[in-house]
Amino acid sequence: DAKTTQPNSMESNEEEPVHLPCNHSTISGTDYIHWYRQLPSQGPEYVIHGLTSNVNNRMASLAIAEDRKSSTLILHRATLRDAAVYYCILRDVGGSGGSNYKLTFGKGTLLTVNP
């Protein structure tokens, strides 16, 4: 799977929006962009994913650049419970990626939310 680059850490204030960036300049046409997060002492949990168009769900929004070389996870109003490590992952669902759908995690971005 193609590699992603994320800042090591970010800080936000409670009830403010948070924009978490991810660069994936080597993304291929069959790579989906997935975001997972991991709260302290828990397993990762799915947040959102997309291919080309921006996506919204109850947890977050995903904004994908037109050239798909970068994306941004948007938390509209951060809460203390959003403090976690956020992982941006490219998942090839076609071509040479195979059908195992394993996830390749980087180090992610540690988000700190201040009260």
Partner 1 sequence: DTGVSQNPRHKITKRGQNVTFRCDPISEHNRLYWYRQTLGQGPEFLTYFQNEAQLEKSRLLSDRFSAERPKGSFSTLEIQRTEQGDSAMYLCASKSQGADNEQFFGPGTRLTVL
- With contacts defined by CB under 8 A, name the span among 12-20, 58-66, 68-76, 96-104 that binds partner 1: 96-104
Among 87, 90, 111, 113, binds partner 1 (CB under 8 A): 87
3-state helix, strand and coil shares in percent for the chain, rounded to the nearest 5? 5, 45, 50
- Could you tell me the smallest distance in angstroms from the CB atom of residue 77 to partner 1? 23
Cβ atoms 32, 46 nearer than 8 A: no
Give yes or no for residue 40 binding partner 1 (CB under 8 A): no
Instruction: Mark 42-81 with x for binding to partner 1 (rule: CB under 8 A) and - for no binding.
Output: xxxxx--x--------------------------------
Which residues lie near partner 1 (CB under 8 A)? 32, 34, 41-46, 49, 85, 87, 91, 93-94, 100-108
